[in-house]
Amino acid sequence: MELRADLWDHPLRKNWFGGGADLPGIHSICVHPANSKHITVGVSCGGVWVTRDGGATWDCQADGMRAEFMPPERMGDPSIQNPHRIVQCRGNPDHLWAQHHNGIFRTTDGAKSWHELANVLPSPFGFAVAVHPADPLPAWFIPAIKDERRIPVDGKLVVTRTRDGGKSVETLRAGLPQGHAYDIVYRHALDIDAVGTTLAFGSTTGSLYVSENQGDDWQCVAEHLPPIHGVRFG
């Protein structure tokens, strides 16, 4: 193991700042399935960074994202964007999805440009995102109220899904609590299986939910666990 000094010493790193914590952190690492030297990483309040030579050089590629918590003249600055989670479609790795502090973004050109989804209800804010492993168009999110409250909108736990690359977004509720729900789903606590049919997520209230039909219906399979920070299929 070695420190990648090329990213650590990058002059734009001085722009990074804490996103929900005192210090910025790398939370998402997407390795291109056909080229292990092509890596995309997400940084809390540090943007999206891409290397195509195994880490020898890095480019900040968050053009199109917006940080509304910054002064207007810096809202589009790539190096201070706050992606909460970035996932890559293995079947079409130039397509990535990002759940950002200020919305949901998608790229179809390997992060060279990002495009925000419009009119996402009940909220475009959240932490977790999953993308179908073979098809880059379907993706799933778990929305919440942002900033001070950090709870599901109206106390109703839902999953949102797009099947068409973000042109439309539907709200999935079947089997999820629709009253007095205070579950937040952390960035690594949503996952989809290798087939693209079964999803699972865990919440801060210690509940684990599973869907075997791409989110149409959900079942709570465990309750009252400690806060769940990560969920993964083996």
Domain boundaries, the chain: 5-222
- Quote the pLDDT of residue 234: 87
Q: pLDDT per residue over 195-212, tens digit each?
A: 999 999 999 999 999 999
Distance CA 28, CA 39 (A): 10
- Quote the pLDDT of residue 20: 61
Q: pLDDT per residue over 36-86, tens digit each?
A: 999 999 999 999 999 999 999 999 999 999 999 999 999 999 999 999 999
- Quote the pLDDT of residue 147: 81
What Rg value do the Cα atoms of the chain yield, rounded? 17
Q: Which residues contact 34 (CB under 8 A, 6 or more apart)?
A: 93
Superfamily of domain 5-222: YVTN repeat-like/Quinoprotein amine dehydrogenase (2.130.10.10)
pLDDT band at residue 21, thresholds of 50, 70 and 90?
low
- Quote the pLDDT of residue 128: 98
Stretch (H or E) spanning 171 = strand 170-172
Tracing tokens 């999820």 back to the chain, one arrives at 176
